[in-house]
Structure 1
Amino acid sequence: MSLVHLISANTRMEFIELKRYLPNTIAMFLTFYIIFLAMFFGINVIGDPQHAETNIQYGIVNMVFWFLTMMTLSNIGFTITLEATRGTLECVK
């Protein structure tokens, strides 16, 4: 049951921080959307017209994986630093 409480508490904390830092949240989503549009229309302009459909599908999947990887890697270091700064970093033995 403690795992459910942990996930619930972390989810609530994330939503509170997203609302508290609304300009940062909007900028994050806007940046992701602009990069996505650049990749999407770049494939249409640069890519081969015969394989455009397949290239767009691959481009969308690549964009999602790239975004998730970048968010995971950047969030790990930021979260550790933030928790250490707040004084809530816990060591598990």
Structure 2
Amino acid sequence: MITVLNRTKQFMRDNDINYKKEYIRPMIGPEHVYIFRFGKRKLNNRVIIRYSHTWTGRLKINEIDVRLHRQHHPRIFKSESELIDYLQLHLDKNHEINADL
């Protein structure tokens, strides 16, 4: 199995977020698709990673789409660090909202 988004998986484990990984094999075209469903209680959020291989065999992430629950348009990132920063900001914001309850 390939190692895609190791830092994101570690972030999910550290914050007690459940996740499930799926790989979709491409029928036509060079891009591979890796789907990552996650959530605290339900797996209703998803990260879609589109990647390809360079001529040397290394993985090249082309695009990372994030769709959180009830979002209509995906957030698109170029790197894993941008994704983790966004998820951390979103997680901190939700902790502040839930702390008042």
* Richer in strand (by share): 2
* Richer in helix (by share): 1
TM-score range, shorter chain: 0.3 to 0.5
**TM-score, normalising length from structure 1?**
0.38
